[in-house]
Structure 1
Amino acid sequence: MTVRAIRGATTATDDSAIAIQEATYELLDIIEARNHDVLYLPDVVSVIFSVTHDLRQIFPAATARHRPGWENIPLLDVQQMYVKQGLPKCIRCLIQFNTLDPALKVHHVYLHQAKGLRPDWG
């Protein structure tokens, strides 16, 4: 087995629990849809979420835990390092999973204002 990872990022419209939940659900929905042929939830090792310092109302991992099939995945939230010119209200995730195919094509997902973080993966 090889461990591979899928990256993703998005932005919330504001610092409210609903906005953070909606942004997290949308990001994970699209990651799962674009990687439906490679991402099998029982093979997920862990998921790390990071948020900028201006998002404080709810943990993205708490939101993800309510998704079907996500209840037993190890999830972790961390705060991103503060950078003065950094993208505000940003939620990032790193999904690590086991696979038998180390060359398998994964699709990283960057939404809304986060599209500018990795234009090469757009």
Structure 2
Amino acid sequence: MIRGIRGATTVEKNDETEIVQNTRQLVEEIVEQNNVKPEDIASVLISVTSDLNAGFPAKALRLIEGWTYVPVMCMKEIEVPGSLAKCIRVMMTVNTTINQQDITHVYQKNATVLRPDLSSQTEKN
């Protein structure tokens, strides 16, 4: 079965090191919470808000052992007035036997406001 796993995080400033570091932390938690292996990943899409351009968040995935062949793409998030600033969003498409309602979506830092219903789920795990 193919499932999508969502996640999001924020950074304090438009800094390549912080963008890569926070993206890596987010991806590693998604993987841990959902028992994902690199070979089970079809692709990873990463979007950033327009105020983040200091570096590619996809670089974080290349720092994780075993992720060499995982397809990843970065893109710009649509600009909606009043939306969360300095935000990095991840959509990981994986092959899994986990039921849809049992997928753990991960929201970190200020991004917990995006899906408070799912953020509380992450905190319980």
Q: Same fold (TM over 0.5)?
A: yes
**Where does structure 2 lack aligned partners over 5 or more consecutive residues?**
120-125
Within the candidate set 17, 39, 42, 1:42 is matched to 39
Task: Count the aligned residue pairs.
Answer: 118
TM-score (norm 2): 0.89
1:66 shift after superposition: 1.9
TM-score (norm 1): 0.91
Within the candidate set 99, 104, 111, 1:103 is matched to 99
**Percent same amino acid at aligned positions?**
36
Which amino acid in the other structure matches residue 68 of structure 2? E
1:56 aligns with 2:53: yes
What's the secondary structure of 2:66's corresponding residue? coil
Which amino acid in the other structure matches residue 33 of structure 2? R
User: What's 2:3 paired with?
Assistant: 4
1:113 shift after superposition: 0.5
Contact 2:5 2:103 (8 Å CA) reproduced: yes
User: What's 1:112 paired with?
Assistant: 109
Superposition CA RMSD, Å: 1.2
What's the secondary structure of 1:32's corresponding residue? helix
1:27 aligns with 2:26: yes
1:61-100 equivalence runs, <5 A: 61-99=58-96
1:4 shift after superposition: 0.5
